[in-house]
Amino acid sequence: MTLTEARPEAADAVIAAARLEPVPVTGGIVGWLTTADHKRIGLLYTGLGMFGIAGSLVLSALASISVAAESDYLGDSLLQVSNLGTIGLVFAGVVPTLLGLGIAVVPLQIGARAIAFPRAAALSLWGWLVGTALMVASFVANGGPGGGKGRAVDLFLLAFGLMLVALLLAAISLVTTLLGLRTAGMSLARTPMFAWSWFVTGAMLLVTLPLLVGVVIYLYVDHRYGRQIFGGNDGIVRYIGWAFRQPVSLLYALPVLGILADTVATATRQRQALPGAVRGGIGLAGIVAFGALNTAFDARVTSRLVFIAVTVVAAAPVLVVLALALRNLAAGKPRLTAGFAVSVPGGLLLLGAAAVGILYPIERLDLVGTPFEAGQLHLALAAGIVGAIAGAAYWLPKLTGRVVPTGPAIGLGLLAALGGVLAGVGPIIVGFSSSSTQAGNGILAAGAILASLAVAAFGLLALRSARAGDSAGDDPFDGLTLEWATTSPPPPGNFAGELGAVQSAQPLLDRKEA
Amino acid sequence: MLALPPAPAPSRPRLLMLGTALASGAVVMLVAGMIGVYLYWRGQDGGFTTSWLPAKVEMPEVPANTMMATMLGGSVLVQWAAYAAVRGDRRNAALALVLTAVFGIAVVNAQAYIYRRLEMPLVSPDGRRYNTLFFTLSGTIMVLVAFATLAAVIGLFRVIGGRLGPRDGEFVNAVALFWHASAACLVTVWYVLYILK
């Protein structure tokens, strides 16, 4: 088989042309601040998102320690710190981190010269950052859900709305890229699994987050002018809470499945078995997230057939994707890379989150409205965190041209996974038995600290590697997908030469097998 | 190994239309969610068998109907503009976009008139939920209409500047798509707020 429909020598020329020296880009801080290059936007999103993850986990740990130790060192701020930790972990941490990876990598994977609407993508980055800064400021000024100062609560709602709109803008940019900028021969069914997972996630975010924006608009107007409908400050969490419960929580970590499939295929140098089933699994896992809308304003989920159905169904596609990836792993002789070694626990965490969620609607267990919800969310977000580390370890060599050391990356990824498990198990224990509140919160705090340290350390490791790591070469992992056909780092325009028409989901493997 | 001719250059994708379609879908979801919240509280306060409007408030139906019809008329006009812009007909495209913008302003004006006629405070003095929900939902739609009108004005300047034809006319097509989505939202909200009440 060949990579392209061109003559073999022409295909070689294409690959050779794609390996030309990168064209210099505007350097310095100004170059980064004014960039419309998707790779830089993606790296900024991912880097800042990891900072958000580490910070949010510290806040969650502080709140949990306060409960576990029965200490009131947080005073009246306990609820606010806890809420900022949760909201920050989702919308200032996991979602932007994975989104950044998508913005940086997906155009390369599909052979696009740039992301669609690059200025909109840059606007989304800065809009999200300003929104995050304002949200933190609102909490500092005694705002946020549970806050005591009305104007600061208003500011929180505005900031939260801004963050959501910014993330929506990025999702539009990414999904448009996937729909409109694929290279010749690359149908949606031939996109790499990470790109596909972002297609599903982006599309589902586009139909889910606007509903949250609508609720936030109502909350703002009501809180700002009358506080007659939604219960003032205390009502905010109740009405936006559906976005932090299953199965929507699974949506935030869905790209992990794409990272898992791509990294395992590369490590084993094998084509993905039953790719249609993997794509279908990722798609179904995304679609069921919509079922959470059933619980938007009514917590009586145990009597909702649709909710019960999607909750049970959610675990199945995750299991299918994971099983098929592991089948690839068993069938091949995998080389140890940080990408696959860390993404496997990430996938397992997501499966754990989906599986645990099956218990949620069982009426006899009485888990609705308990910390069990937070535990399930933490497991899903931990999957996202671990997946982000795996994805960063795998693609940073391409984006920066420098290798991320395998051993430390695997160690930190596994540490983050362990922390994620603890952060999930703690609240789940409390959900089952309220008498174990102290122990559960202690476990949560330990897990959050562990995961926070792991993410922060990985961030520093990645930064250090990007500055002074060993040269990665253009294809350090013997990759199968198009991003490995260009230089590391890729030049402006991503590919120096013309790409031919791809004929499968693994065009580089086609060429190597030819 | 295969020896096939080089791949043809991929046709230029209509990115702006794709992006606008996605944005329009998001906007539709936003409005659908807000209508859902409105109906939820409507149901909580006794459903459609009870009085939901505050006492002494009479919904001005004629301006509401006029507003809805104007928005739909704008849909026809903006489609005319898109048709002309793609075919390079500057005069027709410019005229249609001017009229579209005027219709957009007329819709906002009609809503402002309805607000004035209602003489209803944003916050109900007797604790009714209706006031806040009504103003928030209708206000959000007005923001969408204002945005669509602004897009039509930008399209007008582009057309006047000669950005016409199958390629450059895509912007006007995108404006038309967003206008249609906004019109669909407005018609639905009109039915919920002014017909169902």
Round the average pLDDT of chain B to a whole number and report it.
Answer: 90
Identify the pLDDT of residue A73.
84
The two tokens of residue A110 are 């599909």
DSSP state of A243: G
Percent of chain A with pLDDT over 90: 61
Q: Which of B10, B33, B129 sits opposite A184 (nearest CB)?
A: B10
Give residue A329's pLDDT band: very low, low, confident or very high (50, 70, 90): confident
Identify the pLDDT of residue A437.
86
Torsion of CA A501, A503, A507, A513, to 10 degrees: -120
Identify the pLDDT of residue A512.
78
- Say how many CA atoms lie within 13 Å of B192 toward its Cβ: 26
Beta bridge partners of A471: A402
Identify the pLDDT of residue A110.
95
- Say how many CA atoms lie within 13 Å of A91 toward its Cβ: 31
Give residue A205's pLDDT band: very low, low, confident or very high (50, 70, 90): very high
Q: Which of residues 22-81 of A touch B (CB under 8 A)?
A: none
Q: Is A354 exposed, middle or buried (0-12, 13-18, 19+ CB in 10 A)?
A: buried
Query: pLDDT tens digits for A351-403?
Result: 999 999 888 888 888 888 889 999 999 999 999 999 999 999 999 999 999 99
- Whether pLDDT at B157 is above 90: yes
Amino acid at A390: A
Interface probe, candidates B22, B44, B141, chain A, greatest A C-beta count within 10 A: B22
* Distance, CA of A264 to CA of A333 (rounded, Å): 10
Identify the pLDDT of residue B52.
81
Q: What is the mean pLDDT of residues B48-52?
A: 72
- Say how many CA atoms lie within 13 Å of A102 toward its Cβ: 38
Q: Which of B8, B29, B31 sits opposite A207 (nearest CB)?
A: B29
Q: Which of residues 35-54 of B touch A (CB under 8 A)?
A: 36-37, 40-41
Give residue A489's pLDDT band: very low, low, confident or very high (50, 70, 90): very high
Identify the pLDDT of residue A293.
60
Q: Find the largest Cα–Cα distance for chain A.
A: 73
A175 close to B (CB below 8 A): yes
Identify the pLDDT of residue B13.
66
Give me the long-range contacts of B154-160 (CB less than 8 A, separation at least 24).
B155/B81, B155/B85, B155/B97, B156/B94, B156/B97, B156/B98, B156/B101, B159/B81, B159/B85, B159/B90, B159/B93, B159/B94, B159/B97, B160/B90, B160/B94
- Closest approach of A100 to chain B, Cα-based (Å): 19
* Distance, CA of A236 to CA of A86 (rounded, Å): 14
Is the Cβ pair A179, B123 closer than 8 Å? Answer: no
Q: What is the mean pLDDT of residues A327-343?
A: 88
* Distance, CA of B173 to CA of A75 (rounded, Å): 56
Is the Cβ pair A184, B8 closer than 8 Å? Answer: yes
A17: left (phi over 0), alpha (psi -120 to 50) or beta: alpha
- Whether pLDDT at A493 is above 50: yes
- Whether pLDDT at B186 is above 90: yes
Give residue B50's pLDDT band: very low, low, confident or very high (50, 70, 90): low
Q: Which of B7, B123, B132 sits opposite A6 (nearest CB)?
A: B7
Q: Which of residues 201-230 of A touch B (CB under 8 A)?
A: 206-215, 217-218, 221-222, 225-226, 228-229
- Say how many CA atoms lie within 13 Å of A416 toward its Cβ: 35
- Closest approach of B147 to chain A, Cα-based (Å): 15
- Whether pLDDT at A496 is above 90: no
Is the Cβ pair B30, A213 closer than 8 Å? Answer: yes
* Distance, CA of A25 to CA of A138 (rounded, Å): 37
What one-character-per-residue DSSP string does B2-37 give? ---PPPPPPPPP-HHHHHHHHHHHHHHHHHHHHHHH
Residues of B in contact with A214 (CB under 8 A): 30-31, 33-34, 37, 140
Amino acid at A395: W
Percent of chain A with pLDDT over 70: 92
Identify the pLDDT of residue A19.
37
Identify the pLDDT of residue A325.
86
The two tokens of residue A16 are 């050779």
Give residue A4's pLDDT band: very low, low, confident or very high (50, 70, 90): very low
Query: pLDDT tens digits for A256-281?
Result: 999 999 999 999 988 888 889 999 99
Is the Cβ pair B1, A228 closer than 8 Å? Answer: no
Identify the pLDDT of residue A16.
41
Amino acid at A478: D
| Predicted complex ipTM | 0.92
- Whether pLDDT at A69 is above 80: yes
Give residue A2's pLDDT band: very low, low, confident or very high (50, 70, 90): very low
Q: What is the mean pLDDT of residues A72-98?
A: 92
A302 close to B (CB below 8 A): no
Q: Which of A4, A172, A184 sits opposite B19 (nearest CB)?
A: A172
Residues of A in contact with B26 (CB under 8 A): 168, 172, 206-207, 209-210
Sign of CA dihedral B60, B62, B68, B71: negative
Q: What is the pTM of this model?
A: 0.92
- Cα-to-chain-centroid distance, residue B125: 31
Query: pLDDT tens digits for B124-135?
Result: 888 888 999 999
Is the Cβ pair B25, A206 closer than 8 Å? Answer: yes
The residue that leads in pLDDT, A6 or B177, is B177
Residues of A in contact with B29 (CB under 8 A): 206-208, 210-211
